[in-house]
Amino acid sequence: MTGSDEDWSALMRAANAGDTRAYARLLHAITPVLRGIVRAKARGFPPEAQEDIVQEVLLAIHLKRHTWRSESPVKPWLYAIARYKVIDAFRARGARIQLPIEDFAESLPAEPAADPTERSDALKLLGQLDPRSAELLQAVGLDGADAREAGARLGMSPGAARVALHRGLKRLAELRNGRGL
């Protein structure tokens, strides 16, 4: 069997008419082609998963062969089933491709380093605020405390701490933009 569309279509017509030998010959002829399609489309999958996809394609062909129109070529119909089964496999996997990080360690960019002048610049700006606002902003912005904790250290209610934090941030923005004191 050459694998031409006319040969496959003739086998499919005979198979749909009840010829089991024609159906077996068709499956024997199309399986290597389907395996190649799946291998090309599902490159991120391991070989055993690719073979599972091929089996899904063959099962779909078996279950849906009655939907093929005998006046149409069979290859596009087969290729569409294979394509959709590969897409289904990617969806089931969540489209995650798992690659070992060691293969890319040399080409991955390093994490951006913190600017060493950033903290000192922030402290200079904070020095231009009233001491209470500066302490609150430093606790929240630089030391990582939340507004409630920082406010409690300064004897403020959580609401007052949030208001003072907001006003301090607004004042810092003004200082940074040159509309300072």
What is the domain-level CATH number for residue 140? Answer: 1.10.10.10
In a domain, 160, yes or no: yes
Residues 69, 38, single domain; the answer is yes
Structural contact between residues 174 and 180, judged by C-beta atoms closer than 8 angstroms: yes
Question: For residue 1, is pLDDT > 60?
Answer: no
Q: Show which of 96, 131, 164 is a domain's final residue.
A: 96
Q: Is residue 181 part of a domain?
A: no
Percentage of the chain exceeding pLDDT 90: 34
The token pair that represents 139 in the structure block: 């606790």
Q: Categorize the per-residue pLDDT at 55 as very low, low, confident or very high, splitting at 50, 70 and 90.
A: very high
Dist CA 140 CA 147 (whole Å):
6
How many domains is the chain partitioned into structurally?
2
**Contact predicate 174/121, CB 8 Å:** no
Mean pLDDT, rounded, for 149-173: 88
**Residues of 145-165 as b/e, b for ≥16 C-beta within 10 angstroms?**
bebeebbeeeebeeeebbebb
Q: Are 57 and 34 in contact (CB under 8 A)?
A: yes
Tell me, yes or no, whether 106 lies in a domain: no
Domain membership of residue 39 as a residue range: 5-96
Q: What is the mean pLDDT of residues 113-139?
A: 82
**Nearest Cα to 54, choosing from 25, 89, 21, 3?**
89
Instruction: Establish if 11 belongs to a structural domain.
Output: yes
Residue 59 identity:
L
Mean pLDDT of the chain: 85
- Average pLDDT score over residue span 4-15: 88
- Asked whether the predicted pLDDT for residue 99 surpasses 50, the reply is yes
pLDDT higher than threshold 80 for residue 179: no
Structural domain contains residue 39: yes
Q: Which of 36, 63, 96 is the last residue of a domain?
A: 96
82 and 33 inside one domain: yes
